[in-house]
Structure 1
Amino acid sequence: MTPLDDVRVLDLTRLIPGPFATVVLRDLGAQVDKVEDGGAGDYLRQLPPQQGGANAGFHSLNRGKRSVVINLKTPAGKAAFERLLARYDVLFEQFRPGVLARLGLSHQRLRQRYPRLIICALTGYGQHGPLRDRAGHDLNYLARAGLLALQGPADGPP
C-alpha cells in the first residue's frame, strides 16, 4: 500500500515541470492519466534524444501513466474531457492563466460541476499579477534572478 493508492489524477501538463510533479504523485501510488492534444501531443515527445519513437525524458517523466488524445478546442473534445473528469479526484494543469476559461473550462465552472475536484494549476508566474501571461521556463527564471550573468564574463565564452 502506498500513500496515494486511491487518488486519481488527470494530467493536462507537458514538457518538464508538470510531468515531473505528476510522476511523483504516480510514484506515491496515484493513478495518473495524461491528456494530450490531437497534434504532436506533449512537445517533449519530439525533442532529442529519441528512444522508441519519443524523447527519453518523456518516457521517464510519464512512466506508468496512461495517455489519451482529446482535442479540447472542439465541442466533442470538451464533452469527452468532462465525462472523463467526473472520474478523477485531481486535475493538474499547466496552461497560462485564462486558457482553460477561454476553452469554456474555467476553474470556477469546473469547481461548480465537480465540487470534490482538486485543481492544481502550475504556472510560471502565478494566476495574478503583472507577469501572469508570460511563459515560464527555467531559462526565464535564471535570467530574472541574475544567475545568467554569473555564467562567465560578458566578453568571454559561456
Structure 2
Amino acid sequence: MLLKRPVKDFDVMVIGDGISFAEKVAEHFHIKTLVVYHNFGTAMLPMGESHDYHKIEFVGARRESYHAESRNPSVEPADLHSDLSRRDFTINAMAMRINKENYGVMIDLFNGKKDLHDTILRTPLDPEETFSDDPLRMMRAIRFASQLQFKIEENTLQGIIKNASRISI
C-alpha cells in the first residue's frame, strides 16, 4: 500500500485467535467461503470474482522458533512486538491499527517506513538468525531487491552470504 502498487492480499493480525476473529468477520458480512488452516492457525477469506481475486488472511500474533534442520517453525501465541520482530524485512514489519479508537495509526517498531523510502532491505533482527531460521527469506531478499529496485543493506547481505548453504533444507 505504501508503495502505491496494486494489493491483492491483506493480512490481518490480531492479538488472540485469528481463526475465531475471521469467523466473526465472515459471519458479520455474510461471507460463506472461509478457508481455515488449523495447522498454521490462519484463516483466509477470498474476495471478489476469480478474475479479480483478492484475499484477506487472518492470523493471531505469534512467536516462532525453528529447528536447525527444518524451515517449519514451532508456533506459540505472542504479543504485537514479538510478531512484528519475526518478519523477514523491516518493510514487512509494519502494522496499521484498524480498531475504532486508533484507526489508521501506523506501528513501525523497526523503521520500515524509512527503509521503504530509502529503498533498503534489512531484517528487523540479526540477519544471520533471520536467514538461518528460514532460508527462503534469502530468496525473497533477492526477489524484492530485483523487483522493487531496493538495495540490500550490508549486514543483511552478509547474513545471506553466511547462510547460503542453508537454502537446501
Q: TM-score, normalised by structure 1?
A: 0.32
Greater helix percent: which structure? 2
Structure number with higher relative contact order (C-alpha < 8 Å, ≥ 6 residues apart):
1
Greater strand percent: which structure? 2
Q: TM-score, normalised by structure 2?
A: 0.31
